[in-house]
Structure 1
Amino acid sequence: MRMPYALAVALIFAVTAVLSLVAASYAVTKIEDASEFAVRRALNLKGHDWAEVQSDGLRVVLTGTAPDEATRFNALTAAGTEVDTSRVIDEMEVAPTADLTPPRFSAEILRNDSGITIIGLVPASLDRDDLIDRLQRLDQNSSVSDLMESADYAEPKGWDQAIDYAIEALSGLPRAKISASPGLVRITAIADSQQEKDRLEQDLSRAAPPGLRIGLSISAPRPVITPFTLRYLIDENGGQFDACSAQSEDARELIVATAREAGLTGQYSCTIGLGVPSPRWSNAAQLSILALAEIGQGSVTMSDADITLVAAQDTSPILFDRVVGELENALPDVFALHAVLPEPEPDDPAGPIEFNATLSPEGLVQLRGRVSDETLRDMTDSFARAAFGSTQVYTATRVVQDLPTDWPVRVLAGLDALSHLHNGALTVTPDDVSLTGVSHDPDAKARIAGLLSDKLGDAQDFNLSITYVEPPAPQDALPDPEVCEEQIAEVQSNSKIAFEPGSATVASDSRDALNQIADILRECGPIRLEIQGHTDSQGREEMNQQLSQARAQSILNELRGRRVPTSSFSAVGYGETQPIADNDTEEGREINRRIKFHLIRPEPVPDTETGLEAVEAESPDAEAQDAGSEDQ
């Protein structure tokens, strides 16, 4: 029987539809599998094994939890390299960001005549009102500006210690910038003199806690020298400076080199300062010193732009005139030369016209000799009592007529110069002012030379014979920290600190050494000291480190028991990490088992924030020299 045509057509269409559906389903499955495989492979190659891939028709769905937003985006980009980005469905999540790295906290405190300003990023838990109140107490008459920002993170270790030290340091620094961050404080300040700079560096270093690194950049500005003075003398013993000022390092080198060429004996260095009357000061000084050397003997004094050249009395007038003429023509325009050739003394000179003053080491002053009138006698007596003390002066001067008109100036200038000495004698004559004595100030001779050259005027001569003697150390002065460290090392070299085998108990025969070290440390005061424990390499490294820490702490406890102030001390165990001898021999291991008392010294380091060279406390493990030993 033959199938109807319409039914046959319908059947063919049905079969075709079924076959098409089967083929389409197969093709979709193939595409899904291929897409899923390609995307998963791309993610794995990028290290995104946390991501899950599912195919849904032509769509590729990404799921999973990315550690951060950048990683999620990177995974999405990797998937887009394998399939069209329009087919990628992003259902990935990002891990919570509660564990973000905390910011770097720091505070910068500026103090000057205008007040105190604090700026930086600080923890939100910081009591800002208390901090501002502490800064305000440093100077009740100045304002404190709070420009700080805060972040809600826990205070890092060492933050409170750094802030406390910064405020303590600022209390003694009226002009300074202090940068405080966890474990580190940098101080930039200005001192009035080199002596003040040295004192500040020592005090700030002593005051710092042992666990805090410090950076010190303290500058001492160049002094203003008024008048700008140079005085050079040549006699039968050679040449010498009474005073020397220079405007720069190059100028100083030129002047000193010229003086050596002219017979300078001994070491001398000019004072570098401000106030030079001319940029060609060093050239004028060079010409003047060489001219004096050509004459032979005498003195040359430069006071600002005035130059006084005094030749020896027996100098040839012809030589004197020639040298002076050449010097006048060679000097820079701003300088004025006054040349003096003393007249020969008469064969039968009259009695000396003198004024004398003596200053004893106890501070007693006697005034004798001639004054021109009652007014000058009252003036010298009043000046001396004001300079040396009203009960320290004995006056026995007498009034004589016909003294030189500049006699009052010479007498008062001489007394002023005498007041700069610890003890000495002054002699004033019509032709000369002579001062001899002792000073505890190394710059006294230069200061007195400048004073006399300024007060006496041009073409006036004076003689100085001043000896510098170091002042006696105050009885209550603390010894230098380096000296303390050397004394401790000497004790340990004679009697090493030992322990009971395998323990942190100090051996009985080491008690005497500890007593000596305690005596030294009590005298040294609050120095920054790290007590280091070291072992040999026998045993496990972790056990050695623990043993060295216990032994260092044991020494610290022993010192506390001997009433040694240890607030600036710390105990640190280094285990076997810093050997100073060969651990393969018994002798080397014995040396490596040691206790070291390490003084934390400031060392120059570059300050990247200010561009200055600072002084930063060195890392305690930067030095591994032996200062004693112990038995493990």
Structure 2
Amino acid sequence: MRLSALLTRLIVFVAAAFLSVAAAQTTVSVVEERSVLAVQETLVDQGYEWATVLGDGLQVILEGEAPTEAVRFRAISAAGGMVDASRVIDNLSVTDSEKITPPEFAIEILRNNSGVSLIGLIPASTDRDALAARITDIADGQPVTDLLEVADYPTPPTWRDAVAYSLRALEMLNKSKISVNADRVIVNAISDSPEEKRQLETALARNTPEGVRLAVNISAPRPVISPFTTRFILDENGARFDACTADTSEAVSQIIAAASEAGFRERGNCTLALGAPSRTWGEAVAQSIAAVDNMGGGTITVSDTDVTLIAPVGTGQATFDNIVGRLENSLPDAFALTAELPELPTATTDELPQFTATLSPEGAVQLRGRVPDDITNMVVENYANARFGQRTITMGTRIAEGLPSGWSVRVLAGIEALSELSNGAVIVEPDRLLVRGNTGNEDASATISRLLIDKLGQTADFEINVTYVEELDPIAGLPTPEECIAQINAITDGRKITFDPGSADLTADTQPVVDDIAEILQKCGDLRIRVSGFTDSQGREIMNQQLSQDRADAVLTALRARRVPVSTFESIGFGEENPIADNGTEEGRERNRRIEFSLILPEPTTEETSTLDELAQDPPAPAVEDDSATESE
């Protein structure tokens, strides 16, 4: 009996142990399965599809090939976030990098009053000494901080062109930050005036390297304008601004929006400037323009805080009073309104006095019309000489009595207005002043308008009809590189650059020729030009080559002494190569001894080279020549 109870207990114990082991195995299997699933889902969600997750009891094993060591570490960390990190077994490998990716070569250049600093990474093939010498020359005595590092990797094909361009830009810009890499140059700079900004933008836009993207951002200080003036006219000729000035971009938007409602359809050209009398300038001008629109025409002049509205002739009194009253009550507090309703003109048989000033395209000035006395006549002539310089002044004035009050002021204001034009005319009458002509200054109309308002008052009746001509603009009208070379060739065709026999010294007769070439190049801006030297065939070939090189260098030096920017020029001596005449005659040898100017053209791209190769293999049919044409020596 006792034996049977003991056996029973033993069987129960064994069964319990078996069940415990089975339950433990089942629990481990469930935990393993869920852990593997959770880790696998996490890795897939985070973009590590290349990793495989295996379970071994409570351990989670990661297998697979990670692209980099950093990615391998992040995958392990992701797995450790789902299960205890001690359970994660790392069996991952990292892909072998057959070739390390070359670093990006880049330079940050900063130039200001403290000097020039450079930081970045450049190829080992860079001529460090030449680069340092060029930067030192540009710094012009200011300190240079060189923090450039070097890496021995292949140089990108456009790297040298990008760096050369950035150094040319650095030479022009005293306050700048230039960012350079192989395919991009970013130029940020500060100019001293809007005029200098336009000049720099024009110069930087020339000779942009092929395959290099360029971004230029040059800021200029806003001009200070006094009086702060906007003048808007709406008449039978349409809506237009004689002058438009604003203190903020928001004010410009307000003004142009109001003008557009009134029928203004041209490109808005409001000058952002300092000197606004109130922060509500844009609101005041917009309301004034709206009043002119509601009246169906007229002129509105806002000068500082004074607003002057001149209604069209024939406007009804009730309409005039209604619109003026609404404008007067809606204007911001700082602004005061003066409104004028012109009377209908009455017929008269009296001849109106008149003064006319004209400026020809050649610079000749003619002054005709009436002046009140001899003193005024002398003042008018002297003032014209002061405004127009050494130009020819022809006086056709005459003394007359009974001229209106303020006539002398109107005449002098008209002469000053004419001096803002390249050519044109000014007609001065008792009640009206007309200015018309051409100019190379986009802001000439606004300048003349402010001038006349300042001299004659806001109620003055004047009309400005000025046309901007790009060819007259000293900046936008710069000649093209091809035109510059053509002008130089025209000079050297008639007058050669000559040297003392057997030397590289320019003759005295050549100095005026170089002066004329320098004058052209100073107007042409930043060009890439090659100065080539050639000799005749007399003497040894090596000596001729060296002599031609020395002569080309001498011309470059002479141009540099005349303040021509020659940093983008190169001089090459070709010796007796490429003769243009027979070396067997004295006349031919004289022609072969020469200096030539040409543009440095960019190297052809791979596509262009392939096209040239195809043409070389399969040349086109030759053109039929005219046997009657002969070449003259």
TM-score normalised by L of structure 1: 0.55
Aligned pair 1:290/2:290, yes or no? Answer: yes
2:603 aligns with one of 569, 583, 592: 569
1:246 alignment partner in structure 2: 246
What is the rounded CA distance, in whole Å, between the counterparts of 2:338 and 2:383 in structure 1? 31
Q: CA deviation at 1:320?
A: 3.2
Q: Residue 338 of structure 1 contacts residue 458 of structure 1 at CA under 8 Å; is this kept in 2?
A: no
Aligned pair 1:217/2:216, yes or no? Answer: yes
What is the rounded CA distance, in whole Å, between the counterparts of 2:365 and 2:214 in structure 1? 48
Q: Name the amino acid aligned to 2:214.
A: G
Aligned pairs for 1:191-340 within 5 A: 203-204=203-204, 206-210=206-210, 213-221=212-220, 223-224=222-223, 226=225, 227-262=227-262, 264=263, 266-275=265-274, 276-340=276-340
RMSD (CA atoms): 4.7
Q: Name the amino acid aligned to 1:148.
A: L
1:456 alignment partner in structure 2: 456
Q: Residue 121 of structure 2 contacts residue 151 of structure 2 at CA under 8 Å; is this kept in 1?
A: no
**Over residues 31-77 of structure 1, what are the superposed CA-to-partner deviations in whole Å (9 max), with x where a residue is unaligned?**
xxxxxxx9xxx9996889xxxxxxxxxxxxxxxxxx99x99xx9xxx
1:550 alignment partner in structure 2: none
1:610 alignment partner in structure 2: none
Aligned pair 1:407/2:407, yes or no? Answer: yes
Q: CA deviation at 1:100?
A: 8.2
Q: Secondary structure at the match of 1:569?
A: coil
What is the rounded CA distance, in whole Å, between the counterparts of 2:324 and 2:381 in structure 1? 41
**Is the alpha carbon distance of 1:126 and 1:254 closer, same or farther for their aligned partners in structure 2, counting shifts above 3 Å?**
closer
Aligned pairs for 1:396-475 within 5 A: 396-400=396-400, 403-471=403-471
**Is the alpha carbon distance of 1:225 and 1:431 closer, same or farther for their aligned partners in structure 2, counting shifts above 3 Å?**
farther
Q: CA deviation at 1:143?
A: 0.3
**Is the alpha carbon distance of 1:339 and 1:630 closer, same or farther for their aligned partners in structure 2, counting shifts above 3 Å?**
farther
Q: Residue 310 of structure 2 contacts residue 339 of structure 2 at CA under 8 Å; is this kept in 1?
A: yes
Q: Secondary structure at the match of 1:301?
A: strand
Q: Secondary structure at the match of 1:171?
A: helix
1:376 alignment partner in structure 2: 376
Q: Secondary structure at the match of 2:357?
A: strand
Q: Residue 191 of structure 1 contacts residue 218 of structure 1 at CA under 8 Å; is this kept in 2?
A: no
**Is the alpha carbon distance of 1:313 and 1:151 closer, same or farther for their aligned partners in structure 2, counting shifts above 3 Å?**
closer
1:477 alignment partner in structure 2: 480
Q: Residue 114 of structure 2 contacts residue 143 of structure 2 at CA under 8 Å; is this kept in 1?
A: no
Q: CA deviation at 1:309?
A: 1.5
Q: Name the amino acid aligned to 2:409.
A: V
When structure 1 is superposed on structure 2, of 414-423 and 433-442 the one drifting more is 433-442
**Over residues 459-491 of structure 1, what are the superposed CA-to-partner deviations in whole Å (9 max), with x where a residue is unaligned?**
3222223334443796952489xxxxxxxxxxx
Q: Residue 102 of structure 1 contacts residue 153 of structure 1 at CA under 8 Å; is this kept in 2?
A: no
Q: Residue 106 of structure 2 contacts residue 120 of structure 2 at CA under 8 Å; is this kept in 1?
A: yes
What is the rounded CA distance, in whole Å, between the counterparts of 1:104 and 1:356 in structure 2? 67
What is the rounded CA distance, in whole Å, between the counterparts of 1:206 and 1:413 in structure 2? 40
Q: Name the amino acid aligned to 2:106.
A: S
Q: Residue 232 of structure 1 contacts residue 300 of structure 1 at CA under 8 Å; is this kept in 2?
A: yes
**Is the alpha carbon distance of 1:129 and 1:374 closer, same or farther for their aligned partners in structure 2, counting shifts above 3 Å?**
farther
What is the rounded CA distance, in whole Å, between the counterparts of 1:407 and 1:433 in structure 2? 11
When structure 1 is superposed on structure 2, of 217-226 and 391-400 the one drifting more is 217-226
When structure 1 is superposed on structure 2, of 172-181 and 341-350 the one drifting more is 341-350
2:353 alignment partner in structure 1: 353
2:147 alignment partner in structure 1: 148
What is the rounded CA distance, in whole Å, between the counterparts of 1:177 and 1:164 in structure 2? 15
1:112 alignment partner in structure 2: 112
Q: Name the amino acid aligned to 2:305.
A: A
Q: CA deviation at 1:379?
A: 2.5
**Is the alpha carbon distance of 1:479 and 1:307 closer, same or farther for their aligned partners in structure 2, counting shifts above 3 Å?**
farther
**Is the alpha carbon distance of 1:327 and 1:596 closer, same or farther for their aligned partners in structure 2, counting shifts above 3 Å?**
farther
Q: Residue 373 of structure 2 contacts residue 400 of structure 2 at CA under 8 Å; is this kept in 1?
A: yes
Q: Secondary structure at the match of 1:398?
A: strand
1:166 alignment partner in structure 2: 166
Q: Secondary structure at the match of 2:178?
A: strand
What is the rounded CA distance, in whole Å, between the counterparts of 2:234 and 2:464 in structure 1? 13
What is the rounded CA distance, in whole Å, between the counterparts of 2:144 and 2:354 in structure 1? 64
When structure 1 is superposed on structure 2, of 151-160 and 383-392 the one drifting more is 151-160
Q: Residue 365 of structure 2 contacts residue 391 of structure 2 at CA under 8 Å; is this kept in 1?
A: no
Q: Secondary structure at the match of 1:427?
A: strand
Aligned pairs for 1:457-536 within 5 A: 457-471=457-471, 476-478=479-481
2:363 alignment partner in structure 1: 363
Q: Residue 120 of structure 1 contacts residue 147 of structure 1 at CA under 8 Å; is this kept in 2?
A: no
What is the rounded CA distance, in whole Å, between the counterparts of 1:401 and 1:413 in structure 2? 20
**Is the alpha carbon distance of 1:395 and 1:154 closer, same or farther for their aligned partners in structure 2, counting shifts above 3 Å?**
same
What is the rounded CA distance, in whole Å, between the counterparts of 1:286 and 1:156 in structure 2? 57
Q: Secondary structure at the match of 2:387?
A: helix
Q: Name the amino acid aligned to 1:369.
A: G
Q: CA deviation at 1:355?
A: 2.5
Q: Secondary structure at the match of 1:463?
A: strand
Q: Name the amino acid aligned to 2:428.
A: V
Q: CA deviation at 1:393?
A: 0.9
What is the rounded CA distance, in whole Å, between the counterparts of 1:81 and 1:321 in structure 2? 91
**Is the alpha carbon distance of 1:569 and 1:130 closer, same or farther for their aligned partners in structure 2, counting shifts above 3 Å?**
closer
Q: CA deviation at 1:414?
A: 1.6
Q: Residue 353 of structure 1 contacts residue 370 of structure 1 at CA under 8 Å; is this kept in 2?
A: yes
**Over residues 333-368 of structure 1, what are the superposed CA-to-partner deviations in whole Å (9 max), with x where a residue is unaligned?**
222222233355555464323322122233221112
**Is the alpha carbon distance of 1:377 and 1:278 closer, same or farther for their aligned partners in structure 2, counting shifts above 3 Å?**
same
1:341 alignment partner in structure 2: 341
**Is the alpha carbon distance of 1:247 and 1:111 closer, same or farther for their aligned partners in structure 2, counting shifts above 3 Å?**
same
Q: Name the amino acid aligned to 1:477.
A: T
What is the rounded CA distance, in whole Å, between the counterparts of 2:425 and 2:62 in structure 1? 96
Q: Residue 339 of structure 1 contacts residue 459 of structure 1 at CA under 8 Å; is this kept in 2?
A: no
Q: Secondary structure at the match of 1:207?
A: coil
Q: Residue 178 of structure 1 contacts residue 187 of structure 1 at CA under 8 Å; is this kept in 2?
A: yes
Q: Secondary structure at the match of 1:449?
A: helix
**For this pair of structures, how many residues does the alignment match?**
421
What is the rounded CA distance, in whole Å, between the counterparts of 1:145 and 1:405 in structure 2? 65
Q: CA deviation at 1:166?
A: 2.3
Q: Name the amino acid aligned to 1:451.
A: L
Q: Name the amino acid aligned to 2:480.
A: A
Q: Residue 233 of structure 1 contacts residue 299 of structure 1 at CA under 8 Å; is this kept in 2?
A: yes
What is the rounded CA distance, in whole Å, between the counterparts of 1:285 and 1:596 in structure 2? 62
Query: Any unmatched runs of 5+ in structure 1?
Result: 1-37, 49-66, 75-79, 83-98, 481-524, 528-559, 576-593, 598-628
**Over residues 418-452 of structure 1, what are the superposed CA-to-partner deviations in whole Å (9 max), with x where a residue is unaligned?**
11223222122333322222334443222221222
What is the rounded CA distance, in whole Å, between the counterparts of 1:228 and 1:417 in structure 2? 18
What is the rounded CA distance, in whole Å, between the counterparts of 1:235 and 1:43 in structure 2? 86
**Is the alpha carbon distance of 1:187 and 1:323 closer, same or farther for their aligned partners in structure 2, counting shifts above 3 Å?**
closer
